[in-house]
A and B are shown apart, each in its own frame.
Chain A
Amino acid sequence: MLLAFKLKLALAAAAIAGPIGATAVIPSPVTPASELVEIAPAAFSYRLPGDFWQDRRQVPGPLQTMHLSEPLAIMKHQVTVREYGGCVDDGACPKLSVPEGRDDVPMVGINWHDAIAYADWMTRKTGRTHRLPTDKEWTLAAAEKKSDEAFAPVDPADRAQAWITRYEAEANRSKPDAHGARPTGTFGANSNGLLDLAGNVWEWTGTCFVRATIDTEQVRVTNTNCGVRVVAGAHRSYMTDFIRDPRNGGCAAGVPPANLGFRLVVEPRPSVVAMAIRALQTLRENLRA
Chain B
Amino acid sequence: MTRRMKLLLGVALAAMLTSPAALAADDLKLPRKAVELVAPPFVHPHEQTTKDGPKIVEFKLTIKESEVVIDDAGTKFQAMTFGGSMPGPMMVLHEGDYMELTLVNPASNTMPHNIDLHSATGGLGGGALTHVGPGEQVVLRWKATRPGVFVYHCAPEGMIPWHVVSGMHGTVMVLPRDGLKDEVGKPLRYDKIFYIGENDLYVPKDEKGKYKRYDSPGEAFSDTTEVMRKLIPTHVVFNGRVGSLTGKNALTAKVGETVMIVHSQANRDTRPHLIGGHGDYVWEAGKFNNPPQKDLETWFIRGGSAGAAIYKFREPGIYAYVNHNLIEAVELGATAHIKVDGKWNDDLMKQITPPGPIPPDKVGAAEPAAVTR
A interface vs B, CB < 8 Å? 51, 53, 56-58, 97, 99, 101, 158-161, 163-164, 167-168, 170-172, 175, 179-180, 211, 213, 222-223, 247-251, 253-255, 258
Docked-complex contact B329 and A249, CB < 8 angstroms: yes
Known: A97-B209, A250-B326. A163 touches B318 (CB 8 A): yes
Q: How far is the CA of A84 from the CA of B93 in the complex (A)?
A: 62
Most buried by A among B315, B341, B344: B344
A-B contact pairs, 28 of them (CB 8 A): A53-B354, A53-B356, A56-B354, A58-B354, A99-B209, A159-B344, A160-B340, A160-B344, A161-B316, A161-B341, A164-B316, A164-B339, A171-B246, A171-B247, A172-B248, A179-B72, A179-B74, A180-B73, A211-B355, A222-B356, A222-B357, A249-B331, A250-B322, A253-B318, A254-B247, A255-B72, A255-B247, A258-B72
Mark contacts of B74-96 with chain A using CB atoms, 8 A cut-off: 1 yes-contact digit, 0 otherwise.
10000000000000000000000
A84 to B322, CA, bound (A): 38
Residues A160 and B316 in contact in the complex (CB < 8 Å), given A248-B246, A253-B247, A253-B337: yes
CA distance A240 to B74 in the complex (A): 25
Say whether A179 contacts B73, CB under 8 Å: yes
Also in contact, A167 and B318, with CB within 8 A (given A211-B355, A222-B357): yes
Min distance, Cβ A231 to any Cβ of chain B, angstroms:
17
Q: Is the CB of A101 within 8 A of B208?
A: yes
B275 at the interface (CB under 8 A from A): yes
The 3 A-B pairs of least Cβ separation, nearest first, read A160-B316, A249-B330, A171-B247
Q: Shortest distance in angstroms between B257's beta carbon and chain A's nearest beta carbon?
A: 14
Residues of B within 8 A of A58 (CB): 354
Of B250, B320, B335, B344, the residue contacting A171 (CB under 8 A) is B250
For residue B243, which residues in chain A have a CB less than 8 angstroms away from its CB? 248
Chain A CB within 10 Å, residue with most, of B322, B326, B331, B337 = B337
Chain B 225-247 near chain A by CB (<8 Å), digits 1 or 0: 00000000000000000010011
Interface residues of B in 288-332 (CB under 8 A from A): 315-318, 320, 322, 326, 329-331
Minimum CB–CB distance from B25 to chain A (whole Å) comes to 48
B10 at the interface (CB under 8 A from A): no
Chain A residues closer than 8 Å to B74, beta-carbon distance: 179
Q: CB within 8 A of B317: which of A99, A163, A249? A: A163
Instruction: Chain A residues near B333: list those with CB within 8 A.
Output: 249
Is A175 in contact with B72, judged by CB distance below 8 angstroms?
A: yes
Pick the most buried of A53, A97, A160, A249: most chain B CB atoms within 10 A of its CB.
A249
A163: nearest chain-B partner, CB-CB: B317
CB of B210 closer than 8 Å to a CB of A? yes
The CA of A163 and the CA of B343, in the complex, are separated in Å by: 12
Contact, CB under 8 Å: A167 / B339:
yes
State in angstroms the CA–CA spacing of A152 and B335 once bound together.
27
B236 to chain A, nearest CB (A): 11
* Beta-carbon contact of A99 and B208 below 8 Å: yes
Question: Which chain B residues lie closer than 8 Å to A254 at the CB level?
Answer: 247
Is B31 interfacial (CB-CB < 8 Å)?
no
Cross-chain contact of B330 among A158, A247, A258 (Cβ < 8 A): A247
Nearest CB of A to B255, in Å:
9
Chain B residues whose C-beta falls within 8 Å of the C-beta of A101 in the assembled complex: 208
Asked whether B317 lies within 8 Å of A164 as measured between CB atoms, the reply is yes
With most chain B CB atoms within 10 A of its CB, the pick from A57, A168, A251, A258 is A251
The residues of B that contact A211 with a CB separation of less than 8 Å are 355-356
- Choice from B208, B250, B335, B344 contacting A250 with Cβ under 8 Å: B335
Please determine whether A164 and B318 come into contact, CB atoms closer than 8 angstroms. Answer: yes
- B342: Cβ under 8 A from any A Cβ: yes
Asked if residues B275 and A250 are in contact (CB atoms below 8 Å), the reply is yes
A58, A159, A160 interface centre (most CB from chain B within 10 Å): A160
Nearest neighbor of B337 in chain A, beta-carbon distance:
A253
User: Which of A57, A159, A222 has most chain B Cβ within 10 Å?
Assistant: A159
* CB neighbours of B339 from chain A (8 A): 164, 167-168
Nearest CB in chain A to that of B248: its residue: A171
Q: Which residues of A contact B326 (CB under 8 A)?
A: 250
8 Å CB contact of A160 from B210, B342, B355, B357: B342
Could you tell me the distance in whole angstroms from the C-beta of B34 to the nearest C-beta in chain A? 37
Which chain B residue lies CB-closest to A53? B354
Residues of chain A within 8 A (CB-CB) of B320 are 250-251
Q: Give CA–CA (A161, B335) in the complex, Å.
A: 22
| Min distance, Cβ A252 to any Cβ of chain B, angstroms | 8
Q: How far is the CA of A158 from the CA of B329 in the complex (A)?
A: 29
* A247, B73: Cα distance in complex, Å: 11
Q: State the Cβ distance, B112 to closest chain A Cβ, in Å.
A: 35
What residues on A are CB-neighbors of B341 within 8 Å? 160-161, 164
